């Protein structure tokens, strides 16, 4: 039975953009401690937990990762009146920012703000057909200018403010479902693995700075040099107007990625494992290196056998990213069963072309 | 807290029931004579036996919102809800917002196709309303129909919060701030004057409730209490700001449907000044308020509007100064006092 739904919601309310993931890390730490024999953080801030496998001798080494950063903004200028201008730290659609409540993370704590929206009464028709540009948007802290200047500094980070929303059918909407959903997958998988026997040493890694270029994955992949590295990351949930191969129904199964960037044998094993355990899955095709940690894993150090799985979510990179918890659960089942089945022979086969 | 309760109440145009409930409860507690008319306006009165002038204070209960128009049946859109606006909503403020749908207040979200999957040309234009959906988490149309139906009204799901320096944020300060001022002014005022408090419906689709309310009341003087446009933000020239948050309630000079009665506007201004209540002029032509309807009812009604500046009006999160709200209450009570003393003769 799934046991991390409420932790998942806490993760959605935590704030951690690229490079300042400490609050998210601190939330995960006590839960990771329930399973890991050793826990450490690397120079970039990746949180690693080692769950040793059973048996003597050389054991397969498997890395599973979920990035814990979320897309964010950075204060670039304080305008007269105390309004803030911002730059991207991750890929927001500026159109999804208008009228959005945010938190500015200052040295002296969080400050509430809202991204201004011009009232229709003052908006001429010519303006209505134009999309908001990030340079034109501003954050209103509803504070006197001198207070803003005393508290906010250039470089302060900004994240969305959004309490998770419970929808029907165990679906949950909120900010940073990308990729806290996969952090929940890892925790659920670790709980499942506790009652399974696995010969592989498992490294559960909560990576940083994915949203600005897979940076945490790169050093984690190099530093741990596992035999197999599986990234767990969300993919595009089905929605009208999207191409069929970029549109995965919610509760339609775990998305297992296939393409040149991903190791064919690991992919095949994952599919086989899902079939045998009656775990619903759907196959996501990529023609280029994927936009996820698995991209960096493949070329970390001497090269790693990389894979990518994940739950589909709707409205990616908005404050209402929507996931079905059942998809998180099915993804955790697949991850746990796969890890439990990895053996030395499979590792040997990885270089047999 | 009454202002919190009023702003969080669900009341898209034509579906003001929850707000009406709050207004009636408060008015009943004050022991006023209260009735509801055929449109759904709530009209409270006090001092009807006193000689005139008859004064009507007006605030509208409705807010801009959406209406569910269709439940998706297809393979792609199954269970997603199509909608149209109730009142003036810029589709650009809808993306990435939570809402509540229908009588049962089913939570939903308005998302959009991820930016990753949008063509560069698509990114340059706002996402039109017909490409937006409300997602309540339904698996398909049948699932959705168990919870919602076409015709269900939709409101933003924004919590009221107080901010430092006596500021507050919420949805629908337009015009729950007016409802609040009207309630508090009626609670406070104890003079000898026939005063009518009209909590009206359907302002956002053309000042509908105010027409009928004014006809019934037949006031000599009417004052609309509004949450009005403030755009005192970076990059906006002073003449385009309309009003400035924190500088006191605003008095209309001229808007989309009214030209101020000069003598009455001056009377409002002087009343504020003599009592040291901060006050400012509302300085844009666009937009209007219930007085636009009231002044044309019957043989015509003299009066004006007292408004609280609201930033981001008609958007899910709006900002006001609570000092402006309190000063507006002070001003309304002061104006009633002055009229009762014969300080303004229609």
Domain ranges of chain B: 2-63+171-340, 66-156
pLDDT at A122: 83
Domain definitions of chain A by residue range? 5-70+175-349, 72-160
CATH 3.40.640.10 matches B66-156:
no
Residue of A nearest to B321 (CA): A142
Q: Please, is A24 exposed, middle or buried when counting C-beta atoms within 10 Å of its C-beta (0-12, 13-18, 19+)?
A: buried
Alpha helices (H) along A34-174: 125-128, 145-151
pLDDT at A349: 95
Confidence category of residue A148, pLDDT binned at 50, 70, 90 = very high
In this predicted model, what pLDDT tens digit does every residue of B7-44 receive, in sequence order? 999 999 999 999 999 999 999 999 999 999 999 999 99
Mean pLDDT, chain B, whole residue set: 95
Domain A5-70+175-349 matches domain A72-160 at the CATH topology level? no
Q: Where does A72-160 sit in CATH, by number?
A: 2.40.30.40
Burial A59-96, CB ≥16 within 10 A → b, else e: bbbbbbbbbbbbbbbbbeebeeebbbbbeebbebbbbb
A169/B135 Cβ within 8 A? no
Angle at B89 between CA B83 and CA B91, to 5 degrees: 70
Confidence category of residue B122, pLDDT binned at 50, 70, 90 = confident
Q: To which H or E segment does residue A187 belong?
A: helix A177-193
Q: What CATH architecture is A5-70+175-349?
A: 3-Layer(aba) Sandwich (3.40)
In this predicted model, what pLDDT tens digit does every residue of B263-288 receive, in sequence order? 999 999 999 999 999 999 998 888 89
> Is the CB of B161 inside 8 Å of chain A's CB atoms?
yes
Which residues 236-295 in chain A show a CB within 8 A of chain B? 236, 238-243, 246-247, 251, 291
- CATH fold, domain B2-63+171-340, is Aminopeptidase (3.40.630)
Q: To which H or E segment does residue B58 belong?
A: strand B55-60
Confidence category of residue B98, pLDDT binned at 50, 70, 90 = very high
B108, B284, B316: residue with CB nearest A122: B284
Query: With 90 as the cut, is the pLDDT of residue A293 above it?
Result: yes
Q: Are A68 and A206 in contact (CB under 8 A)?
A: yes
pLDDT at B119: 87
> Is the CB of B314 inside 8 Å of chain A's CB atoms?
yes
> Is the CB of B345 inside 8 Å of chain A's CB atoms?
no
């Amino acid at each position: 039975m799934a046991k991390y739904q409420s932790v998942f919601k806490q993760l959605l309310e935590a704030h951690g953009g690229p490079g300042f993931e400490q609050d998210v890390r601190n939330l995960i730490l006590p839960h990771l401690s329930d399973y890991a024999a050793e826990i450490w953080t690397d120079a970039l801030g990746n949180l690693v937990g080692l769950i040793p496998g059973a048996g003597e001798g050389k054991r397969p080494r498997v890395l599973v990762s979920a990035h814990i950063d979320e897309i964010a903004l950075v204060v670039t200028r304080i305008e007269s009146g105390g309004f803030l201008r911002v730059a991207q730290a991750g890929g927001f659609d500026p159109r999804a920012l208008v009228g959005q409540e945010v938190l500015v993370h200052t040295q002296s704590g969080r400050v509430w703000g809202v991204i201004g929206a011009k009232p229709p009464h003052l908006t001429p028709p010519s303006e209505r057909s134009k999309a908001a540009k990030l340079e034109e948007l501003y954050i209103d802290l509803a504070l006197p200018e001198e207070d803003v200047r005393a508290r906010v500094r250039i470089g302060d980070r900004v994240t969305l403010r959004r309490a998770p929303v419970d929808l029907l059918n165990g679906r949950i909407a909120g900010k940073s479902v990308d990729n806290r959903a996969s952090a929940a997958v890892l925790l659920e998988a670790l709980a499942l693995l506790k009652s399974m026997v696995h010969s592989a040493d498992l490294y559960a890694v909560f990576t940083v700075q994915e949203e600005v270029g897979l940076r945490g994955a790169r050093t984690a992949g190099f530093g741990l040099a596992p035999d197999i590295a599986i990234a767990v990351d969300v993919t595009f949930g089905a929605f009208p107007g999207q191409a069929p191969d970029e549109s995965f129904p919610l509760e339609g199964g775990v998305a297992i990625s296939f393409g040149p960037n991903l190791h064919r044998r690991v992919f095949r094993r994952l599919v086989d494992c899902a079939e045998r355990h009656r775990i619903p899955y759907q196959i996501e095709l990529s023609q280029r290196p994927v936009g996820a940690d698995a991209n960096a894993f493949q070329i970390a150090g001497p090269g790693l056998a990389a894979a990518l799985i994940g739950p589909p979510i709707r409205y990616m990179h908005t404050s209402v990213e929507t996931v079905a918890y059942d998809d998180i659960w099915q993804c955790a089942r697949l991850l746990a069963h796969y890890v439990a089945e990895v053996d030395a022979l499979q590792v040997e086969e990885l270089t047999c072309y | 807290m009454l202002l919190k309760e009023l702003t969080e109440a669900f009341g898209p145009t034509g579906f003001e029931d929850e707000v009406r409930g709050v207004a009636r409860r408060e008015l009943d507690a004050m022991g006023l004579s209260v009735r509801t008319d055929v449109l759904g306006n709530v009209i409270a009165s006090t001092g009807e036996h006193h000689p005139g002038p008859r004064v009507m204070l007006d605030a509208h209960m409705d807010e801009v919102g959406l209406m569910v128009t269709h439940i998706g049946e297809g393979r792609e859109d199954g269970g997603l809800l199509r909608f149209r606006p109730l009142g003036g909503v810029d589709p650009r403020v809808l993306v990435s917002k939570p809402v509540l749908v229908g009588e049962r207040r089913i939570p939903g979200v308005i998302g959009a196709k991820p930016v990753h999957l949008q063509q560069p040309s698509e990114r340059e234009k706002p996402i039109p309303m017909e490409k937006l959906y409300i997602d309540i988490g339904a698996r398909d149309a049948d699932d959705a129909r168990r919870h919602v139906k076409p015709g269900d009204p939709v409101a933003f799901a924004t919590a009221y919060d107080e901010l430092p320096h006596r500021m507050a944020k919420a949805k629908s300060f337009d015009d729950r701030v007016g409802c609040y001022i009207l309630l508090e002014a009626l609670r406070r005022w104890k003079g000898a004057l026939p005063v009518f408090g009209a909590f009206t419906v359907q302002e956002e689709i053309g000042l509908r409730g105010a027409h009928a309310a004014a006809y019934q009341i037949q006031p000599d003087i009417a004052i609309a209490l509004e949450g009005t446009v403030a755009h005192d933000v970076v990059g906006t020239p002073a003449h385009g700001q309309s009003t400035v948050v924190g500088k006191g309630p605003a008095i209309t000079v001229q808007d989309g449907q009214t030209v101020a009665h000069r003598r009455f506007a001056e009377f409002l201004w002087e009343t504020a000044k003599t009592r040291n209540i901060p006050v400012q002029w509302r300085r844009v032509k666009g937009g209007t308020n219930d007085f636009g309807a009231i002044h044309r009812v019957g043989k015509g009604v003299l009066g004006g509007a007292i408004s609280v500046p609201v930033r981001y009006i008609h958007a899910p999160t709006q900002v006001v100064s609570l000092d402006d709200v309190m000063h507006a209450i002070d001003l309304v009570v002061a104006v009633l006092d002055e009229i009762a003393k014969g300080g303004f003769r229609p």
